[in-house]
Amino acid sequence: MADRGLCWIRRDIRWDDNTALAECTRQCREVLVVFVFDPNILEPLKKKSLRDKRVQFIAESLIDLDARLQTLGSQLLVRFGDPVEVIPSLVTELAIDHLFFSRDTIPYARTRDSAVIQAMTDLGRRVSTVNDSYITDPDGIVNAQNQAFRVFTPYSREWKRQLELNGIAPAISPDPSPLIRLSDSPPHTVGSLMEIAGFEPQSIILPGGEMAGRQRLIDFAKRVDNYDSTRDFLTDDSTSMLSVYLRHGAVSIRDCVRLAQSDTSRGRQKWLDEIIWREFYTMIFYHYPHTKTQPFQEKFSSLEFPTDEVLLASFKDGTTGFPIIDASMRCLNNTGWMPNRLRMVTASFLTKILLVDWRRGERYFSWKLLDYDLASNVGGWQWSAGVGADAAPYFRIFNPVTQSRTYDPNGKFIRTWVPELAHLNADDIHWPLDARSAPHSFVLGRNYPVPIVDYSSQRAKAIELFRNC
């Protein structure tokens, strides 16, 4: 047993069912817990804005964990700096024998963690890494030829087979008895953490923290059996809205799978499938990191999107004259949230109707999404553009008006985010160009934009572009 262990919290900001914390408290006589704000990640965000919703969510989640540790007689240490320097110097300063953390598989994290492990080895200290963010490590599931899967359905079948075989580990509780406290400094506040990170506090629609994540999971458990039929409708309770909690580990992925497995309803099965998409994209990105900038399907490598900057700017601002697109983008810009159905519809619209390069859309979402996750975002954009793993075929192009009529039949979502159309009736609101219910004072082009492109001709151009490729 090691004398003193350090648990480095990263994408696992919670106490319950936290694998790294459980291992650290099991294997060490004394335990400290640290989170490091990493300028390599934060500085590019800072250049965009000092008000970043993700940083706020992280700060709120850290407060929750700190509060839990305080009640257990300990505290959360928070540092700012490059972890490759901060962690080894903390290890020396605090006489740590053994470092624990959960694995993160994106390329930057892998490089960073290798450097930290090397520095620990140089110092003669032990390091243990665990899998906590996913049910399976990204290299844990391979096909009969020992290669990574490229298609979702066989991957999902094998994923489920392994789950059936291995079962899901029972929830683990870290042992609080080895936790120690270094000083009597007062608990952190969101303000103090945002100051350490160099950002300004702000309000967000989904509160950070393990408590909030657990409550969301409990609430969703009452609705999960209907998930298969409700998930595409544009109401607040049609899906779980747990993605940001999963992204930062404020909720345990195993708790989600336990819920999905606790009954065999179609809703639960469908929800499990979505959880597997998350693991599938992580696996794809792990094996094919070049897909951050290159299409997964090599035949589309030479595809050149015209990418008109004016059209892209209208898309980002939500002024395209296509109400459901504008509502979606304004919702994203204001809240950091967009329902999955609309992520597909907007990504399809940008790439296949406005003919803008999917990489530009991917980058814009990466700045805006509260639940931004590199692998899922790249996967989602490539899927929608028709160039990714198991993607929608290039000729499958969502018609925004039909999608809007189907999934927002009364126009409630549009009314919320495009108030200038709120007076139109449920029929006209999806396509104001043909509106009969508009008052005389409403003039298309003055009160709301005329559609910036002709849908049908753009659609034909897209199909031609892809076919030629």
Ligand X SMILES: Cc1cc2nc3c(=O)[nH]c(=O)nc-3n(C[C@H](O)[C@H](O)[C@H](O)COP(=O)(O)OP(=O)(O)OC[C@H]3O[C@@H](n4cnc5c(N)ncnc54)[C@H](O)[C@@H]3O)c2cc1C
- CB nearer ligand X, residue 380 or residue 411: 380
Q: Would you count residue 134 as binding ligand X (CB under 6 A)?
A: no
Contacts of the segment 388-391: beta carbons below 8 A, 24+ positions apart: 388/291, 388/295, 388/296, 388/297, 389/150, 389/151, 389/152, 389/280, 389/281, 389/284, 389/288, 389/291, 389/296, 389/297, 390/150, 390/151, 390/152, 390/153, 391/296, 391/297
The two three-digit tokens of residue 458, written as one number: 């753009």
Q: How far is the CB of 392 from ligand X (least distance, A)?
A: 10
Contact assessment for residue 323 and residue 288, using Cβ atoms and an 8 Å cutoff: no
- CB nearer ligand X, residue 381 or residue 448: 381
Q: How far is the CB of 437 from ligand X (least distance, A)?
A: 32
What gap in Å lies between CA 134 and CA 250, rounded to an integer? 13
What gap in Å lies between CA 191 and CA 362, rounded to an integer? 31
Q: Would you count residue 376 as binding ligand X (CB under 6 A)?
A: yes
> Helix, strand, or coil here: 350?
helix
Pattern 91-110, binding to ligand X, x per CB under 6 A?
Answer: --------------------
Chosen residue from 344, 350, 353, 397 binding ligand X by CB under 6 A: 344
Contact assessment for residue 303 and residue 382, using Cβ atoms and an 8 Å cutoff: no
Chosen residue from 277, 322, 413, 466 binding ligand X by CB under 6 A: 277
Q: Would you count residue 343 as binding ligand X (CB under 6 A)?
A: yes
Q: Would you count residue 380 as binding ligand X (CB under 6 A)?
A: yes
- Containing 126, the helix (H) or strand (E) segment is strand 126-130
Q: Would you count residue 32 as binding ligand X (CB under 6 A)?
A: no
- CB nearer ligand X, residue 88 or residue 380: 380
CB count in 10 Å sphere of residue 276: 22
Identify the residue whose tokens are 């990714």.
388
Give, as one character, the DSSP assignment of residue 395.
T
Nearest to 61 by CA among 246, 279, 267, 297: 246
Q: Would you count residue 369 as binding ligand X (CB under 6 A)?
A: yes
Cβ neighbours of residue 68 closer than 8 Å, sequence gap 6 or more: 15, 210
Q: How far is the CB of 239 from ligand X (least distance, A)?
A: 3
- CB nearer ligand X, residue 149 or residue 431: 149
Q: Would you count residue 241 as binding ligand X (CB under 6 A)?
A: yes
What gap in Å lies between CA 109 and CA 88, rounded to an integer? 16
Give how many residues touch ligand X by CB under 6 A: 28
Q: Would you count residue 243 as binding ligand X (CB under 6 A)?
A: yes
- CB nearer ligand X, residue 9 or residue 283: 283
Q: Would you count residue 239 as binding ligand X (CB under 6 A)?
A: yes
What gap in Å lies between CA 267 and CA 153, rounded to an integer? 18
Q: With CB under 6 A as the contact rule, which of the stretches 102-110, 310-318, 365-373, 386-394 interacts with ligand X?
A: 365-373
- CB nearer ligand X, residue 25 or residue 403: 403
Pattern 401-430, binding to ligand X, x per CB under 6 A?
Answer: ------------------------------
Kindly identify the residues of this chain, within the stretch 216-235, that bind ligand X according to CB under 6 A: 231
234-245 burial, b for 16+ CB within 10 Å, e for fewer? beeebbbbbbbb
Q: Would you count residue 278 as binding ligand X (CB under 6 A)?
A: yes
- CB nearer ligand X, residue 247 or residue 254: 247
Q: Would you count residue 377 as binding ligand X (CB under 6 A)?
A: yes
Q: Would you count residue 283 as binding ligand X (CB under 6 A)?
A: no
- CB nearer ligand X, residue 137 or residue 274: 274
- CB nearer ligand X, residue 35 or residue 381: 381
Chosen residue from 373, 390, 408, 428 binding ligand X by CB under 6 A: 373
Q: How many CA atoms lie within 13 A of 323 on its CB side?
A: 34
Cβ neighbours of residue 257 closer than 8 Å, sequence gap 6 or more: 135, 163, 168, 272, 275
Pairing of strands 2-9, 28-37: parallel
Q: Would you count residue 340 as binding ligand X (CB under 6 A)?
A: yes
Q: With CB under 6 A as the contact rule, which of the stretches 105-113, 166-174, 301-309, 336-344 interacts with ligand X?
A: 336-344
- CB nearer ligand X, residue 125 or residue 268: 268
Cβ neighbours of residue 352 closer than 8 Å, sequence gap 6 or more: 385, 386, 394, 397, 458, 459, 462
Chosen residue from 159, 285, 296, 381 binding ligand X by CB under 6 A: 381
Q: With CB under 6 A as the contact rule, which of the stretches 63-71, 95-103, 277-285, 392-400 interacts with ligand X?
A: 277-285
Residues that bind ligand X (CB under 6 A): 231, 239-243, 246-247, 274-275, 277-278, 281, 339-340, 343-344, 347, 365, 369, 371-373, 376-377, 380-381, 384
